[in-house]
């Protein structure tokens, strides 16, 4: 999984333009369409700074935010002023003592689990935590997006108080990419900037591979969607981001 420890302070700022509202609407559409039970308890797996977790809590769900990064969770908890969310530090491959009607894992969290065996183990753990009839919804980058839009590219963003450069390098495996990021953040009440670097590793797999691993874990794939479109399911290979909606059968 990615080490976000030094990024926690600026992560939510960088993600401020992310389509949070469509994300939340899409999740609720998936729950309504596929869940066999009423969704009350939701686990947000790889919750990061907890923005989506807190928004779902405001919408009335009982939320548990789970992340491997202690610093991310500390940041998330500091923004949870009404203490609406239970925050837990755990690795997705070793989830335990958690029960939920639904589990979500957004913003390509699953792509940070780069070993096939580890992805399969995480899916198995998620099956165990779900209530029968519950839903697991997660997103990943498509192979096309990683290989055509990310690998070999350089991105940059500059503000008065924050800037970064982001180099993407293809890995040896299909669907694999390494992210080399350098950040400069302005120190408070100073003209000096603090530099820190992040090196992230992601890998994605084919739709059929994910479906096979999910089914092996006991999760039935109810739908695969591209780029928030719950109606169209054709030409998924052209989508940037793929969403998998999975069900734990009630007889499980």
* Rounded Cα gap, residues 104 and 135, in angstroms: 8
Q: Which residue has the tokens 């401020």?
A: 16
Q: Which domain holds residue 12?
A: 5-141+205-247
Q: pLDDT band for position 199 (50/70/90)?
A: very high
Q: Indicate whether 25 pLDDT > 70.
A: yes
pTM of the prediction?
A: 0.92
DSSP string, 153-211: -EEEEE-SSEEEEEEEEE-SSTTEEEEEEEEEEEPTTSS-EEEEEEEEEEE---HHHHH
Count of structural domains, the chain = 2
Whether residues 179 and 219 share a domain: the answer is no
Based on the domain organization, do 17 and 109 belong to the same domain? yes
| pLDDT, greater one: 229 or 8 | 229
Is there a single domain that holds both residue 171 and residue 66?
no
Segment 226-247 shows an average pLDDT of: 87
Q: What is the pairing mode between strands 130-141 and 241-247?
A: antiparallel
Residue 3: its pLDDT value, please? 41
Q: Whose CA is closest to 169, among 182, 181, 184, 157?
A: 181
Question: Nearest Cα to 104, choosing from 29, 17, 213?
Answer: 29
The percent of residues in the chain predicted with pLDDT above 70, rounded, is 93
Same domain flag for 233 and 118:
yes
The answer to whether 50 touches 66, Cβ cutoff 8 Å, is no
Say if 78 falls within a structural domain: yes
Determine the pLDDT at residue 248.
96
Is position 252 within any domain? no
* pLDDT tens-digit series, residues 122-169: 999 999 999 999 999 999 999 999 999 999 999 999 988 889 999 999
123 close to 129: Cβ distance less than 8 angstroms: no
pLDDT digits (tens, 9 = 90+) for 76-133: 999 999 899 999 999 999 998 789 999 999 999 999 999 999 999 999 999 999 999 9
Termini Cα distance of the chain: 29
Based on the domain organization, do 230 and 198 belong to the same domain?
Answer: no
Q: Which residues have CB under 8 Å from 252's CB, separation 6+? A: 127, 132, 218
**Same domain, yes or no: 58 and 126:** yes
């Amino acid at each position: 999984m990615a080490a976000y420890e030094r990024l926690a302070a600026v992560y939510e700022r960088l993600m401020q333009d992310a389509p949070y509202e469509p994300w939340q609407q899409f999740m609720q559409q998936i729950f309504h369409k596929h869940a066999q039970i009423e969704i009350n308890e939701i686990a947000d797996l790889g919750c990061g700074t907890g923005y989506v977790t807190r928004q779902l809590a405001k919408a009335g769900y009982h939320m548990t935010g789970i992340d491997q990064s202690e610093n991310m969770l500390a940041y998330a908890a500091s923004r949870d002023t009404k203490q609406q969310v239970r925050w837990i530090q755990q690795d997705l491959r070793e989830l335990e003592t958690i029960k939920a009607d639904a589990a979500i894992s957004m913003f390509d969290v699953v792509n940070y689990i780069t070993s096939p065996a580890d992805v399969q183990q995480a899916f198995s753990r998620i099956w165990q935590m779900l209530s029968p009839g519950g839903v697991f919804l997660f997103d990943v980058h498509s192979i096309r997006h990683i290989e055509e839009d990310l690998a070999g590219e350089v991105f940059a963003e500059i503000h008065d108080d924050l800037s970064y450069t982001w180099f993407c390098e293809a890995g040896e495996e299909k669907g694999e990419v390494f992210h080399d990021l350098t950040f400069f953040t302005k120190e408070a009440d100073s003209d000096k900037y603090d530099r820190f670097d992040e090196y992230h590793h992601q890998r994605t797999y084919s739709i059929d591979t994910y479906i096979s691993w999910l089914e092996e874990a006991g999760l039935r794939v109810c739908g695969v969607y591209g780029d928030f479109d719950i109606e169209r399911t054709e030409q998924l290979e052209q989508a940037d981001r793929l969403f998998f909606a999975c069900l734990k059968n009630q007889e499980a």
